[in-house]
Copies of this chain bind each other. A is one copy, B any other.
Amino acid sequence: MGNVTIKDIARICGVGVSTVSRAMNNHPDINQETKDMIMQAIEQNNYVPNNSARNLKRTDAKAIAVLVKGISNPLFNRMIKVIEQITQKEKYELVLQHVDDNQDEVTVAIELEKEKRLRGIVFLGGYFSHSEEKLKQISIPFVLSTIKLEEKDGRQEYASISVDDIKESERIVEYLLQNGHRKIAVIGSRKDDESIGWLRLQGYRRALERYHVAVDEELICYVPGNLATYSMEAGYEMTDQLLKKGTAFTALFAMSDRMAVGACKAILDHGGSIPDQYSVVGFDGMDVAQYYNPSITTIRQPVEEMAEATIRMLLELIRKKNKSRHLVFEGQLIEGQSVRNITE
């Protein structure tokens, strides 16, 4: 059968075209049996609705763009899945666009905005330290997700959804301090990071300060440009270097679970044991932290809830039902098998 039309389906089912149309559009005024029969015929005959009314609607379709920075972050996959489900329900098309590490996401957004159907933008991840001047060039609503822009004077001009990276990082480092650790190595992001990596490093510094432990810059590892940030490889290489240098430490805080996995492997390859000789903690709450051997203590970010809040906030902004707000989600410390209390 070539190109099946709505008339063919109506003929096959012995009903009128309008009944087929009602079945497809979930119209309440049709009985379930008839509807099931029609839907089955549609499926069996591979009928794809293609009438002009639908095409008209299509050209008219509203779209939302999600700009994803850092495609290799599996957390984002889980978030995109949630965003897709909600946009679909709300009858928006979704434009997914990945942004390279060396691309500027705001420039990409300004370019994308020219797409006539675009009603709003989600920025997912990225190094968010853009000038307000540049952000002002985006004239449709947008939400920053898993990132936050520090605004002068405490204004809240830009909508954002995130955890409090400083506080959560402080929490997990404090957990290490409570377990008696004082020489705590940290594997962060790039040295010039002004985003997540910088915030998490502030949390590290604050926790040490509160415990009157001097910060030893030797224990702070930045990931060089030849290694992907937050990757297992980066965690491995940085820890390997630290151990080769012979720098003394009893605990290590990796700013992502993937880096924590690499760090554990480097320690094990050097003949070290976890947590007997070295305690290791991560950040994010990915499944690999749970299933690693040993399982890795981490901060779980509630990414599904954050994704839902992101798209709901954007829809409210599009419908002018709300003003820009900063929503901060609470992380959760998940205890694994990777930390030892060295005072016991």
Residues on A close to B: CB < 8 A?
Answer: 1, 3, 46, 48, 50, 55, 58, 71-72, 74, 77-78, 80-81, 84, 95-98, 107, 110-111, 114, 131, 133-134, 137, 231-233, 236, 261-262, 264-265, 268, 287-288, 290-295
Q: Could you pull out 24 A-B pairs where Cβ atoms are within 8 angstroms?
A: A1-B133, A46-B133, A46-B134, A46-B137, A48-B111, A50-B114, A71-B77, A71-B81, A72-B74, A72-B81, A74-B77, A84-B98, A96-B97, A261-B291, A261-B292, A264-B293, A265-B291, A265-B292, A265-B293, A265-B295, A268-B293, A292-B292, A292-B293, A293-B293
* Known contacts A134-B46, A265-B293; A288 and B74 CB within 8 A of each other: no
Known: A261-B288, A293-B294. 13 other contacts (CB 8 A): A46-B107, A46-B131, A48-B110, A50-B114, A71-B80, A71-B81, A72-B81, A77-B77, A81-B98, A84-B98, A231-B287, A261-B292, A292-B292
Q: How far, in whole Å, are A248 and B268 apart by their CA atoms in the complex?
A: 30
Which chain B residues border A231 with CB–CB below 8 Å?
287
**Docked-complex contact A236 and B46, CB < 8 angstroms:** no
Which chain B residues border A78 with CB–CB below 8 Å?
72
Q: How far, in whole Å, are A100 and B264 apart by their CA atoms in the complex?
A: 35
Interface of A is mostly: helix
Chain B nearest CB: distance from A114 CB in Å?
7
Which chain B residues border A268 with CB–CB below 8 Å?
293
Q: How far, in whole Å, are A81 and B264 apart by their CA atoms in the complex?
A: 28
**Docked-complex contact B48 and A107, CB < 8 angstroms:** yes
Residue of B nearest to A109 (CB): B48
**Docked-complex contact B114 and A55, CB < 8 angstroms:** yes
**Docked-complex contact A232 and B291, CB < 8 angstroms:** yes
Chain B nearest CB: distance from A73 CB in Å?
8
Chain B nearest CB: distance from A98 CB in Å?
6
* Known contacts A81-B98, A98-B84; A287 and B233 CB within 8 A of each other: yes
Residue of B nearest to A110 (CB): B48
Residue of B nearest to A58 (CB): B114
* Known contacts A107-B48, A133-B46, A137-B3; A291 and B77 CB within 8 A of each other: no
Q: How far, in whole Å, are A262 and B293 apart by their CA atoms in the complex?
A: 10
Which chain B residues border A107 with CB–CB below 8 Å?
46, 48
Which chain B residues border A294 with CB–CB below 8 Å?
293
Residue of B nearest to A263 (CB): B291
Q: How far, in whole Å, are A110 and B50 apart by their CA atoms in the complex?
A: 10
